[in-house]
Chains A and B, each alone.
Chain A
Amino acid sequence: MELGSRWDRFRRSEAASGYMLVSPTALYAILLLAAPLGTIILYSFLTDGYLEIVRTFTLANYHEAWTNELYRTVMLRSLGVSMAVTLVTVVLAFPVAYFVSFHVDPSRKSLWLFLITIPFWTSYLIRVFLWKVILGFNGVVNSGLMGLGIIDEPLTFILYNVNAVVITLAHAYAPFAILPIFVALEKIDRSLLEAGQDLGESRFMTFLRVTLPLAMPGVIASVLIVFIPTIGDYVTPQLVGGPEGRMVANLIQLQYLKLDNYPLGSAIAVSAMGIVTVVSLLFLFLNRRYLKGPKS
């Protein structure tokens, strides 16, 4: 009786409806995110046998992942590529977001945002292939430049290397970077910019002292949104990266699918996750003063 009435009360409480609302997502996340993640972490401590996984606990996989020169090089390259992609994407996204927020007529803003998302209408794979067409040996860029007589023979440094990966990923992630910055800029009270000028600062100095610091939460969000997924991207390096453009995800894929070494693949994956987490937290820590603003 006591339990029954308590259950009744819980059923009608706000907490109950909260749990009800999150439960499908929570279930989904547990089954499809937490469970596989746990399996991968478990695998990374097991030993690889022939056609099977031996259930003996070992740290050998991590030792291999962290000491092998190849893995280290690829990991560092992945970090470098992601950072370059992040830098290029955010630096190019900021002016776009700024333009839409400050110079587009308010009634046209949603149209602009809609146009910015147009690249999503085509599949990611097709977009990557298109970059191959653009950057290729006989591609748009090379034939264009040759047709104009600027170069005599096709440029080879634009495809099948790290540059191509950076260009392709920067393009793919541009909308993800533009939107958070746009939102942060939209929230800035325009009278603050007038106040900056009223207090004697030029437009440029007002931008540096008022607009930019207030847009930083958006910039930080953009950096994380671009940096975290790009480090694990494997389609783009596979298609346009060439041998020297391989990234850590390609290595993990290799371990899993070609070499059938699940434990080592898992150890590399977990290590990569750890590195991304550490780098991201470090970045957040360095920018913490921009993130503690008012809750409003």
Chain B
Amino acid sequence: MTVEKPTMIEFRDVHKYYGDYHALRGITAKIRAGEFFSLLGPSGCGKTTLLRTIAGFEGISSGAVMIDGKHMEGVPANKRPTNMVFQSYAIFPHLTVAQNVGFGLRRANLAKDELARRVGEALEMVGLKGYGARAAHALSGGQRQRVALARALILKPKVLLLDEPLSALDKKMREQMQVELIKLQRQVGITFILVTHDQEEALVMSDRIAVMFEGEIAQLADPETLYRRPNSKKVADFIGTMNFLPAEILSEGPGGIEIEAQGLGRVTLAPDQAPGAASGQGATVGFRPETLTILFEGQPTAERESMGTIEEVVYYGDMTYYDVRLDGTASPTRISMRNVFGRPVLDIGARARIAWSAGALVLFR
């Protein structure tokens, strides 16, 4: 199973201009067949534009988009092996659910009962069995989305494009649909490309994620790498919470990088703990809130420890977030602790021993 899956979509130095505005700035990436791929970024970063260049709704100014090895230049949207779930779902309001789902099958010239059978199958797949005769405008948001999914998947596209499909749903529904989408993708084996601004959604659902800022891909990696080894402060900041402390590089060799970090002291990092290219803005060390632990009384001494003062406590039920000022630092560090029954929540102003590990640090320079 270590064989690399074939490439389904390839961007080769794609540029897109809207007048003077440079929306896509040299996108080069490969998306593998059967992969759940996410384009993640803040609004205006070009992720939807990039998705629309795959669908054929948006032309590109230079470069190339390939789908399954074929050049897509000049191929209109209706001739591409892709289908899309629109952000607004774009359910045809004048048609029934079944007519919506069967819309794309007109050209297949199926017999009436065959058409009905396939529409029924598609509706069953998305959990809308028996809804075929309903008017499309009488559906709830979640149901509309399922219709949009069934309508796209019934055509058995090579690639399914999802443009922020969950953003209009409430939190519960969204979480439920995330799981359903993952299952559906495994079941049909089609390449899914999801556009989202919600980092949590991207982490939960994707095999790989491309983080985009200002028309460029900042990092393309699997969720775990993206979370643990972000290649820039910007990516680190966009995905989850990351603490930053100023650091100084003392020496760099094949064995590792020795640094002196504020509040943490002297540490030697493995080469892969500095995944980003040098930006020349000085060194910073970053670490996630859950990689630090507050040691309560009686807990044994850890290998790496620092002292700090608690400045803020935010109680979340299952978790408590502490903002701790490590001794010798200028800004507080966030630490998240799982609440354990019987253990008190610490007060503001208390002194605390903080345990951390060198392997959780990431160096940005």
User: Hey, which bits of chain A sit against chain B, CB under 8 A?
Assistant: 189, 191-192, 194-202, 209-210, 213-214, 290, 293-294, 296
Contact = CB atoms under 8 A, between A and B. Distances in A.
Nearest to A199: B104
Given A191-B86, A214-B94, A293-B93, A197 B76 contact: yes
Top-7 shortest CB links A-B? A199-B104, A294-B137, A195-B90, A191-B90, A197-B77, A197-B78, A191-B86
Contacts of B87: 191
10 contacts: A194-B77, A195-B84, A196-B103, A197-B56, A197-B78, A200-B155, A202-B78, A210-B92, A214-B93, A293-B94
A214 B56 CA distance: 24
Kindly name the residue among B77, B87, B103, B151 whose own CB sees the greatest number of chain A CB atoms within 10 A.
Answer: B77
A286 to B, nearest CB: 16
B77 A192 contact: no
Majority secondary structure, B binding face: mixed
B78 A200 contact: yes
B84 to A, nearest CB: 5
A293 B137 CA distance: 8
Contacts of B93: 192, 214, 293-294
B82 to A, nearest CB: 8
Contacts of A198: 55, 57, 77-78, 82-84, 152
Kindly name the residue among A191, A199, A290, A293 whose own CB sees the greatest number of chain B CB atoms within 10 A.
Answer: A199
B356 to A, nearest CB: 49
B172 interface: no
A56 to B, nearest CB: 55
Nearest to B148: A195
B92 A192 contact: yes
Contacts of B104: 199-201
B105 to A, nearest CB: 9
B178 interface: no
A202 to B, nearest CB: 6
A191 B88 contact: yes
B112 interface: no
Given A194-B86, A197-B76, A197-B78, A296 B137 contact: yes
Contacts of A200: 78, 104, 107, 155
Nearest to A194: B57
Nearest to A295: B137
A197 to B, nearest CB: 4
B308 to A, nearest CB: 52
Interface of B: 55-57, 76-78, 82-84, 86-88, 90, 92-94, 103-104, 106-107, 135, 137, 151-152, 155
Contacts of A296: 137
Contacts, number: 66
A195 B92 contact: yes
Nearest to A294: B137
B357 to A, nearest CB: 49
Given A200-B107, A200-B155, A294-B137, A213 B83 contact: no
B78 A201 contact: yes
Majority secondary structure, A binding face: helix
Contacts of A214: 93-94
Contacts of A210: 92
Given A213-B94, A293-B93, A199 B155 contact: yes
Given A194-B77, A293-B94, A294-B137, A199 B151 contact: yes
A198 B84 CA distance: 7
A192 B93 CA distance: 9
B76 A199 contact: no
A235 B308 CA distance: 94
B345 to A, nearest CB: 49
Contacts of B106: 201, 209
B103 A199 contact: yes
B54 to A, nearest CB: 11
Nearest to B163: A191
B94 A290 contact: yes
A189 B103 contact: no
A210 B84 CA distance: 17
Contacts of A197: 56-57, 76-78
B90 A189 contact: yes
Nearest to B102: A199
Nearest to B151: A199
Kindly name the residue among A195, A201, A213, A296 whose own CB sees the greatest number of chain B CB atoms within 10 A.
Answer: A195
A206 B92 CA distance: 11
A210 B99 CA distance: 12
A57 B88 CA distance: 64
B83 A199 contact: yes
Contact of B90 (A192, A213, A290, A294): A192
Given A197-B76, A199-B155, A200-B155, 20 more contacts: A189-B88, A191-B86, A191-B88, A194-B84, A195-B84, A195-B90, A195-B92, A197-B77, A198-B55, A198-B77, A198-B78, A199-B103, A199-B152, A200-B78, A200-B104, A200-B107, A209-B106, A214-B93, A293-B93, A294-B93
A65 to B, nearest CB: 42
Nearest to A198: B84
Nearest to B104: A199
A201 B92 CA distance: 14
A277 B88 CA distance: 41
A200 B152 CA distance: 10
